[in-house]
Amino acid sequence: MLIMNPRIVLLLSLVAATLTAGCTSTKSTITDEGIGYRITKAQAKEIVDSSILANFSPDYVNAGPAESLTSSGYIRFAMDTQTINATAIPTRGKLSDGQMAEGYGFQISNFGTMPISGGSKARAVYSLLKQQGQGAGELLRVSP
């Protein structure tokens, strides 16, 4: 009969829990920052797709159908996988002159078992979404 030291059993249990634990986070320009961009649906789709493609190998990207405003990419290492989804969300807000306008905001969701590398990849995609949104259209102030 094999008897293991309780400390080793505890350590192995903690390692197993850490390796199988998942991590999920979501960040939105609308709800977290109160901003959107005065852009068209086609521009929003292009920004979502290009932000994912700029951060992932094309083999690890699912751009979704043309009518979808979501694109995703994933990273893998051994048994771990992290998926990052970028989505354009229709919104309405005020332009700098106070007039109301329609546009889109962006949301990033990040889930999987690679919290460190997945989190940094999600931040890179989110930053690029905002940068491209600002370059494509006027800023909208929205109420989350």
Convert the pLDDT of each residue in 68-85 to its tens digit: 899 999 988 888 888 999
Whether 9 maps to a domain, the answer reads no
**What total number of domains does the chain contain?**
1
49 part of a folded domain: yes
Burial class (CB in 10 A: 0-12, 13-18, 19+), 138: middle
User: Which letter does DSSP use for residue 78 in this model?
Assistant: T
pTM: 0.80
CA 69 to chain centre: 13
Average pLDDT for the chain? 85
For residue 101, the cross-strand partners are: 93
**What mean pLDDT is predicted for residues 80-100?**
93
pLDDT bracket for residue 10 (50, 70, 90): low
pLDDT for 78: 83
Q: Which residues constitute the domain of residue 109?
A: 22-141
- Mean pLDDT lowest for which of 57-66, 94-103, 113-122, 124-133? 113-122
The total of other beta-carbon atoms located within 10 Å of residue 23's CB is 14
- Judge whether 58 lies within some domain: yes
